[in-house]
Amino acid sequence: MHIIGTAGHVDHGKSTLVRALTGIDPDRLKEEKARGMTIDLGFAWIELPDAAGVTHNVGIVDVPGHIDFIKNMLAGVGGVDAALLVIAADEGVMPQTREHLAILDLLAVPAAVVALTKVDLIDDPEWLELVELDVADLLSTTHLRAAPIVPVSAVSAAGLETLKRTLATLLANLPPRRNRARPRLPIDRIFSLSGFGTVVTGTLLDGAFSVGEAVEILPAQRTARIRSLQTHRRHVESSLPGSRLAINLTGVGTDELRRGDVVVRPNTLASTVLVDVSFRLLADAPRPLKHNQPVDLFVGAAEIPAVARLLGAETLAPGQEGWLQLRLSRPAVMVAGDRFILRQPSPSLTLGGGVVLSPQPQRRWRRFDPKSLARLATLAHGLPDEILLQTLERLRLTLRKDLLAAAELDPVAGADALAELRRQQALVEIAAGDEPVMLSLNAWRQLVDGLTTRVTAFHRQFPLRRGLPRSAARSLLQTVLPGVTLSVRLFNTLLEEFARRALLGNDDASVYLLDFAPAPTAAQQQAIDQLLAAFAAAPYAPPIQQDALRILGGDADLLDFLLEQGVLTRLSNDVLLRGEDFAGMVAQIAAYLQEHDRVTLAEVRDLFQTSRKYAQ
Ligand code: GDP
């Protein structure tokens, strides 16, 4: 699923263009919201064909309104696949055009198209050419230098089809979204709707959410549950990474949330107040960046006052890059690789931006310390945790030493990266003997989900059995992980871990849901009652197995169930007794032997007024 974000100088025609492209009027959405028809508002979408010609909904994040435009844009632009930079042809490049493009560049937005709009106002073709040259010039200083420039008019509809085609081609050529099975949604809007309660919206990153799922909201660590999900005004059961998503939450009030909070799966991410980053000061910044300079950090949808500690230089000149450690005034949630922007608080101005290298450094680094600077350089250029994670995603399940070997990292970087991934809880590590077993989150989830689904189905099919036989569980897990050899030992390790995490129980023979207890149906219970009545009528000469089975309607599972539960005890191929009757017999014979030296078969027979067969 793809998302386009709009950018551009105020009044250059962004909203009008989005309306012309999508036919969606945000005001109409507002009205539907008021009537309780939708929780997903303010975001339009457009149908565009992919490389194979199949059409998909592509979300468009347009940030309406003039107040705090940059802040709104920053909240909306995180996580977009492509930018639609709108420039009015009659005015050309303006200060905000420059600032927005710089931000798109710093956030490394993967692709962009420039819509040179309002061409209906231009009579002079030379003017249009000049503006185009100017725009191309501006683009050439950024990573978006190849962005196509498309002249359009929202009024005459000129160029709109070309613009759609250009966007479609651009999106079709993007690499797929990262899915780390560790979903997070930076909240960019919070509101409450009658009939729904608390609703938050944002762009979903790194994984998927499902209806019914328990979630955690960071940094406050509040827990809530997903009551419903909407994307593009449609209810969905689960979402895809990169979706524009509206989440209806239960268990949390709007007053407990703020923009920039992040919705995550419980215990998958932690917040931080210290973060190591690489940073580039914009070439047209008015002055150098100083050590301990106050800044506003924009990351995800959050805006957080911070202090920039300059680790490797006295000052940073405009256009220069350097390592910073940011000290945040309140906790935030981010992961390595996230892009951020720093702005000067007042007068408000974009200073530059960069990449998060370590979201949870162990401590406040000493400035100019060669060791920590070298560590930052490695992180910036190799991002070892990314490498390690990608290797694990490829191998899916492996021993730790094999993972480190396959990632081809030097031992220190490897150990560092592993520690980082542990902190991010980006993998599953199971202690097993002297070499832990490592799993990617995806592989882990597939194993848990696959086995849980199978065990649930088994319980439904065989409500009297304890659970899925272990051998069947092992073959199932093996099919989930083709290419990985699932030895009995490894299989046992996995089952133990499932039990430790209270996901699935197991005993020597079977794997079961923890809240499952074998139980007969009403009809089966009737047969059981009938059988037990027959046993009660002649406790010491009850129906033999064959007859018992007949009373149970030939249901061998039901007989097994009674034996497993201890209701019946099997003494021979033929002879069954009720558990309590057998215990009573043992007790009586024991008492008899208190007073006699021995007991004969005949005496036992007479004692219980039964036949020789039962006595024996
Ligand atoms: P935004 O602030 O960038 O979202 O700009 P708007 O979409 O609100 O448009 C600003 C003004 O430009 C409005 O008065 C629009 O009617 C006008 N406008 C937008 N697109 C066009 C266009 O293609 N041609 C003409 N002539 N006017 C336009």
Which residue in 223, 219, 209 sits closest to 253, CA to CA? 223
**CA separation for the pair 214, 165 (Å, rounded):** 40
Determine contact, residues 347/287, Cβ cutoff 8 Å. Answer: no
DSSP single-letter state for residue 13: S
Q: What was the pLDDT predicted at 65? A: 44
Ligand 1 lined by 358 (C-beta under 6 Å): no
Query: Which residue's alpha carbon is nearest to atom 16 within ligand 1?
Result: 16
- Map tokens 């009044």 to a residue: 11
CA of residue 135 to ligand 1 center, whole Å:
19
Mean pLDDT in consecutive groups of 10 residues from the start of the chain, 616 residues? 87 90 72 53 77 84 59 71 95 92 90 97 94 96 95 96 95 78 87 87 89 96 95 86 89 94 91 94 94 95 95 96 97 89 91 89 87 79 78 90 78 78 89 89 93 95 91 94 88 95 94 93 92 94 94 91 91 92 94 92 92 90
> What are the backbone angles phi and psi of residue 489, rounded to the nearest 5°?
-65, -45
CA quadruple 393, 395, 396, 401: dihedral positive or negative? negative
CA of residue 154 to ligand 1 center, whole Å:
8
Please state whether beta strands 510-512 and 568-570 pair in parallel, antiparallel, or not at all (unpaired).
unpaired
Whether cis (ω within 30° of 0) applies to the bond prior to 26 is no
CA of residue 10 to ligand 1 center, whole Å:
9
Half-sphere exposure of 1 (CA within 13 A, CB side): 22
Which numbered atom of ligand 1 lies nearest the CA of 18?
A: 7
Q: Return the axis-axis angle of helices 14-22 and 160-172, rounded to nearest 10°.
A: 80
Pocket of ligand 1, candidates 10, 16, 100: which has the most ligand atoms within 8 Å of its Cβ, to mutate?
A: 16
H-helix segments, 462-521:
470-480, 488-500
- Map tokens 């989900």 to a residue: 449
Give the three-class secondary structure for 304: strand
Which numbered atom of ligand 1 lies nearest the CA of 19?
A: 7
Determine contact, residues 304/328, Cβ cutoff 8 Å. Answer: yes
Q: What was the pLDDT predicted at 66? A: 46
Residue 8 vs residues 25, 37, 103: alpha-carbon distances, Å: 19, 31, 11
Question: For the whole model, what pTM was predicted?
Answer: 0.66
Residue positions counted in the chain: 616
CA of residue 96 to ligand 1 center, whole Å:
16
Q: What was the pLDDT predicted at 26? A: 60
**CA separation for the pair 184, 115 (Å, rounded):** 31
CA quadruple 354, 360, 361, 367: dihedral positive or negative? positive
Ligand 1 lined by 506 (C-beta under 6 Å): no
Ligand 1 lined by 12 (C-beta under 6 Å): yes
Q: What was the pLDDT predicted at 76? A: 66
> What are the backbone angles phi and psi of residue 426, rounded to the nearest 5°?
-95, 0
Which residue in 202, 217, 300, 298 sits closest to 256, CA to CA? 217
Q: What was the pLDDT predicted at 267? A: 86
Determine contact, residues 267/240, Cβ cutoff 8 Å. Answer: no
- Both structure tokens of 436: 């832990």
Q: What was the pLDDT predicted at 417? A: 85
**Terminal-residue alpha carbon distance, the chain:** 74
- Both structure tokens of 433: 């003997």
> What are the backbone angles phi and psi of residue 600, rounded to the nearest 5°?
-95, 165
Instruction: Point out which residues pair with 231 in neighbouring strands.
Output: 234
**CA separation for the pair 336, 281 (Å, rounded):** 20
Task: Write the DSSP string, 519-539.
Answer: ---HHHHHHHHHHHHHHHHST
Instruction: Point out which residues pair with 185 in neighbouring strands.
Output: 263
Give the three-class secondary structure for 153: coil
CA of residue 13 to ligand 1 center, whole Å:
4
Q: Residue 160 corresponds to which amino acid?
A: L
Query: Which residue's alpha carbon is nearest to atom 21 within ligand 1?
Result: 118
Query: Which residue's alpha carbon is nearest to atom 26 within ligand 1?
Result: 118
